[in-house]
Amino acid sequence: MKKFLSRIALGAMALLMLAGTVHAEELLLVPQPLSTVLSGGVFKVTAKTPLIVESGDENPARIFAEQMMPLFGQKKPMTITTRGEGIRLSIDPTLEAEGYKMTTTKKGICISGGSEAGIFYGLQSLRQLIHTYEGCIPCGEILDAPNFAYRGAHFDVCRHFFTVEEVKRYIDILAAHKLNRLHWHLTDDQGWRIEIKAYPELTEKGSMRKETLIGHCHRPEGFDGIPYGGYYTQEQIREVVDYAAKRYITIIPEFEMPGHAQAALHALPWLGCEEQQVEVWTQWGVTPEVMCGGKESTYQFLETVLSEIVALFPSELIHIGGDECPKERWKVCEHCQARMEALGLKSENQLQGYLIERIEKFLNGYGRRLIGWDEILECGVTPTATVMSWRGTEGGITAAKRGNQVVMTPMEPCSFDFYQTKSQEGEGLQIGGHVSFEKVYAWDPYKGLNEEEKKYILGVQCNLWTEYILDMRHVEMKLLPRLAALSEVQWATERRNEKSIRPRMEQLRKFYEACGWNYAPYYFKGRE
């Protein structure tokens, strides 16, 4: 702590000079604020600076105080009170709900937000500034608000499983970048990861695969022969949901249907067209084994599982997958063909459309809304469904033109399991593709849309599939620093600054180091 304080004056002066070389009125913050006006002078924040909650809940202050403990070397968090001078927090209903205003004078700091979330985001900016300017916060005013209402990141825990504490760490990283959605991918061919009371077999049998593919799925080298699995109890799910909510992140669960369901089919063979016996899948890619779209028992299963999911997750949006569903089984299934005939459907795609529409009505009965991958557009999706465009932006553009809400997440540049450099040197085995920091930062999620259609773009998301990501250290390396580039696309779409992003990132990397996060070095070494 003494060493930290002894460097304050010199460090703050040097950093302010660096800021001046970028822009006279710009602070080294990611994502870029809406506006910044500097007035001269600084206010010094220390471990003894109190947090004064003038209005609103104490939660933003509590989280911030906990987050600052490692930086200050504290054993106890900063003091939270309701009066005095220091860092004052209040609600200002004239601001946007997630917007904030930070006013710094030589006497203290005032952060007001349109809601507790706005205060939280203001404190996340202050957290960066405290580290960057070594406690000496430049006096002036920051006014800030996000561009997109939906600022998301996806996390696949099916191909490789991550503990509750690791998921919380993932959430911490998202929160520091001002994201507000975690798309939690909980069921797939390679493992069922959520406890369902009505069907205990799903986790008893479906959460464990007998082995895992070695090598790339297109160049397999055999199998490791090691059983692999894991799942979350409902109590653990609630714990994670609560943890995220306190950081103003809504968790959107994904329950895959009717494809990517081989783990469920292993646990409950009657879900298949021919009640075929299958193993939890040990490979990557797309399997032909899917749920039967004809039997009423399938729909009873889907609704029963969803009734437990909506009880666990407050999210208005519930993700049902809907992607990569081969129809070979359906074409020769007497149950599927009989239902198609009874409904007057001409194709198996229309049968999937019937399934999705029926599930959407079921979710609507709980006050929830359906979201699915862009393949659902091929099934005659309803105008009220939300489309997640992953195979490119075309699906999102089509959906927006139809009037559906859209989350843009095209593989390039939003698949963060892709290689980060063209050479791939030092990156290990990955799925393929190339998504550099620069590609993410330059992406325009509105491209191809007119002003009216832009209104239907709910937000932007990156996806992290974990076929080739085995541990949390690797997860962080795939996320960072590309998540910073994405956060600026999400939060500051129209005000990105290519001239200042590198010096701002040079400071953010030091923030990552202070947090103990493992970031990829390629961007900082000039590798694309």
Dihedral sign for Cα 398, 98, 513, 442, please.
positive
Selected catalytic residue, list 26, 116, 134, 188 = 188
Name the helix (H) or strand (E) containing 460. strand 457-462
Is 324 considered catalytic here? yes
Please state the three-class secondary structure of 99-117 as a single string.
Answer: CEEEEEECCEEEEEECCHH
Name the helix (H) or strand (E) containing 209. strand 208-209
Alpha-carbon distances, residue 100 vs 49, 228, 233, 300 (angstroms): 20, 45, 37, 46
Is 23 considered catalytic here? no
Alpha-carbon distances, residue 477 vs 291, 306, 420, 429, 430 (angstroms): 35, 33, 10, 14, 13
- Output b/e per residue, 15-44; b: 16+ Cβ within 10 A: bbeebeebeeebbbbbbbbbebebeeebbb
| pLDDT, tens digit only, all 528 positions of the chain | 333 333 433 444 444 444 444 444 679 999 999 999 999 999 999 999 999 999 999 999 999 999 999 888 888 999 999 999 999 999 999 999 999 999 999 999 999 999 999 999 999 999 999 999 999 999 999 999 999 999 999 999 999 999 999 999 999 999 999 999 999 999 999 999 999 999 999 999 999 999 999 999 999 999 999 999 999 999 999 999 999 999 999 999 999 999 999 999 999 999 999 998 999 999 999 999 999 999 999 999 999 999 999 999 999 999 999 999 999 999 999 999 999 999 999 999 999 999 999 999 999 999 999 999 999 999 998 999 999 999 999 999 999 999 999 999 999 999 999 999 999 999 999 999 999 999 999 999 999 999 999 999 999 999 999 999 999 999 999 999 999 999 999 999 999 999 999 999 999 999 999 999 999 999 999 999
Selected catalytic residue, list 260, 266, 289, 374 = 260
Dihedral sign for Cα 67, 69, 72, 78, please.
positive
Selected catalytic residue, list 57, 324, 378, 412 = 324
Is 260 considered catalytic here? yes
pTM of structure? 0.95
Q: Closest Cα partner for 191 from 202, 201, 183?
A: 202
* pLDDT tens sequence across 473-500: 999 999 999 999 999 999 999 999 999 9
Which tokens is 473 given?
Answer: 């250290």
pLDDT at 11: 43
Contact 414, 373 (CB under 8 A): no
Measured CA to CA, the distance from residue 444 to residue 453 in angstroms comes to 14
User: Can you tell me whether residue 323 is helix, strand or coil?
Assistant: coil
* pLDDT tens sequence across 411-468: 999 999 999 999 999 999 999 999 999 999 999 999 999 999 999 999 999 999 999 9
Q: How many CB atoms are located within 10 Å of the residue 276 CB?
A: 12
Beta bridge partners of 87: 51, 109
pLDDT at 74: 85
